[in-house]
Amino acid sequence: MPRLPHAREVTANVLDHVYADADWLDHDAPVAASVRAAALVLESAQYLRTEDRAHGRSVAALLDRLRVPVDDDRSRELGAVLDGLRRHVQELTAQPSWPAPAWDDLPLSAAAQAVPTMLTDTTRRFYKWLGSRLPAGARIAELGSWLGSSTLCLCEGLDERAGDTARVEVYDSFVWAAWMDSFVPVPSGGAWPRPGDVFLDRFHANLQAYGARVTAQRCWIDDGTTPGERPVWRHPEPIDVLVYDMGPDRAVLDVLWEVFEPHFLPGRTVLVFNEYGKVHATSLWEFCDDHGEHLVPEHKPVGTAKAFRYV
Ligand SMILES: C[S@@+](CC[C@H](N)C(=O)[O-])C[C@H]1O[C@@H](n2cnc3c(N)ncnc32)[C@H](O)[C@@H]1O
């Protein structure tokens, strides 16, 4: 079997080739065009993490000049995706700049650092900060908690003011999938769950300190391919914060809106979309645009998350 080239070798080869031939390459030829497009996707991904305005303006200008040769269905599809990305970056650069974040220096407890996570440190600090701003009686809905890292950070933040008067209602299928393995350290001696295993007990173990505050609803929300059941908001009080981290499927987002929006309070509820800053989050951007009259950008931690105020 031929040896597969190491990713670093491929990168060096591409760079070598482009650098050596940069003056001679037809810039509209497929190779040059796809290399430029790929570089711009990476640049856009970096911009989406910060939404830094100056960076955004240069990325938008380059995306504007990008021409992807369209000669088959695949390139037509990619062209449409890049078009969506260009429009999104343009819209974002027209928004006001973000102030210096208030959460970057918040410490993460040893307990919070011990729970496997899919989040960056900044996002976890942001969740803790968000919880710390909520008053007594606060209500949080969290969709997509996985092993509870985000939940624990929200709860530690709630300790500051709301304490035990707060409630956090968590929704997840709690069913292990193979892609989750790469986010957990290799277990010593023990074994991680296998695809299909229910891991609700691990969630509860990680949230043991907050057992009275947190309740978990096991549910699979219909993503348009696999039928599911509807989550339920069981509290009489409105929702102060809703955190969504279940991917960008429009069908799931539509269920979110139908079920939880009746419990939002204009001017009060904050919605966090954890994957908003990913380059392929097109359906999430469209969802936020479609509900744009109700969603005003509120916070942008560095990373993929973004928070909106419901108005
Ligand atoms: C990206 S992970 C969440 C990461 C987590 N917030 C953390 O702090 O590390 C997404 C979670 O959403 C759940 N999920 C994804 N799609 C779902 C759906 N349609 N219905 C129910 N749960 C879903 C998965 O089981 C997984 O636990």
Question: Alpha helices of 68-120 — where are they, by DSSP H?
Answer: 73-93, 110-114
Residues, the chain, total?
311
DSSP 146: T
Q: What is the pLDDT of residues 199-217, one digit of tens each?
A: 999 999 999 999 999 999 9
Report the C-alpha dihedral over residues 80, 83, 85, 88, rounded to 10 degrees.
-130
Q: Measured from the CB, is residue 244 less than 6 Å from ligand 1?
A: no
Q: Which residues contact 228 (CB under 8 A, 6 or more apart)?
A: 219, 220, 221, 222
Q: What is the pLDDT of residues 32-47, one digit of tens each?
A: 888 888 899 999 999 9
pLDDT value at residue 231: 96
Looking at the predicted structure, is the pLDDT value of residue 169 above 80?
A: yes
Token pair, residue 227, equals 């039928």
Q: What are phi and psi of 39, to 5 degrees?
A: -60, -35
Q: What is the pLDDT of residues 76-101, one digit of tens each?
A: 888 888 999 999 999 999 998 999 99
Q: What is the pLDDT of residues 206-248, one digit of tens each?
A: 999 999 999 999 999 999 888 898 999 999 999 999 999 999 9
Atom of ligand 1 nearest to the CA of 143: 12
Find the angle CA(124)-CA(89)-CA(71) to the nearest 5 degrees. Answer: 120
Q: What is the pLDDT of residues 300-310, one digit of tens each?
A: 999 999 999 99
The residue assigned the tokens 């947190």 is 214
* Closest alpha carbon to 310 in 270, 276, 275: 270
Please state the rounded mean pLDDT for residues 59-85.
87
Q: 247 CA to middle of ligand 1, Å?
A: 7
Please state the rounded mean pLDDT for residues 271-299.
97
Find the angle CA(219)-CA(144)-CA(98) to the nearest 5 degrees. Answer: 150
Q: Measured from the CB, is residue 172 less than 6 Å from ligand 1?
A: yes
DSSP 165: G
Distance from C-alpha of 253 to C-alpha of 271, rounded to nearest angstrom? 12
Q: Measured from the CB, is residue 150 less than 6 Å from ligand 1?
A: yes
Q: Measured from the CB, is residue 221 less than 6 Å from ligand 1?
A: yes
Distance from C-alpha of 39 to C-alpha of 174, rounded to nearest angstrom? 37
DSSP 243: E
Distance from C-alpha of 84 to C-alpha of 41, rounded to nearest angstrom? 12
Q: Measured from the CB, is residue 206 less than 6 Å from ligand 1?
A: no
Whole-number average pLDDT of the chain: 92
